[in-house]
Amino acid sequence: METITYELGYHLQPDMEETEVRSSAQKLQEMIIRYDGSIVSSSEPKRTHLSYQIKHKNYARFGTFDFTAPADSIEKINSEIKLQNHIIRHIIIKKEGGKELKTLGIRRAAEMPLRQRQSIRETPAEPAQSEQQIEKELEKVIEGL
């Protein structure tokens, strides 16, 4: 069976001790391995402020796993994660072709070539007039009044 690369993002209860947080992350890794998956990378759950309350909590510990697993095992992993009381929210995302997704911060940091502005109306430069020519034209205008 072909394995697909996935990313698991999860929020743990904010009031958990550090040892409980580590053991919860370890249990998630073991669960993925139990369903024929393999961990590619992981990030330790860190305390973060939530944009909105989840189960009446303003904070949570957020962690991620990148892993490969067969497509039919994802439903089993998902249903087992739902049974965990210490996980308040999670999501499993299929990564396209195992490629790393670009983030906006990386994209903004890259230098973009500057575009040249072109003016809409290009007016030809008029030749400079001498003071004598300007005075003659001014006299003609005054006489015409």
- What tens digit of pLDDT does each residue of 11-26 get? 999 998 999 999 999 9
Question: In percent, how much of the chain has pLDDT > 90?
Answer: 42
Residue 8 has pLDDT above 90, yes or no: yes
Question: Mean of the per-residue pLDDT values for the chain?
Answer: 83
**Burial label, 57 (beta-carbon count in 10 A; 0-12, 13-18, 19+):** middle
**Burial label, 67 (beta-carbon count in 10 A; 0-12, 13-18, 19+):** buried
Considering the entire predicted model, what is its pTM? 0.63
Q: Kindly report the backbone phi and psi dihedral angles of residue 19, in degrees, each rounded to the nearest multiple of 5, phi listed first.
A: -65, -40
CATH match of 3-101 with 3.30.70.60 = yes
Q: Map out the domains of the chain as residue ranges.
A: 3-101
Contact 45, 63 (CB under 8 A): yes
Nearest in space to 25 (alpha carbons), one of 39, 5, 4: 39
Residue 107 has pLDDT above 90, yes or no: no
Q: Degrees (nearest 5) of the Cα angle 91, 64, 95?
A: 65
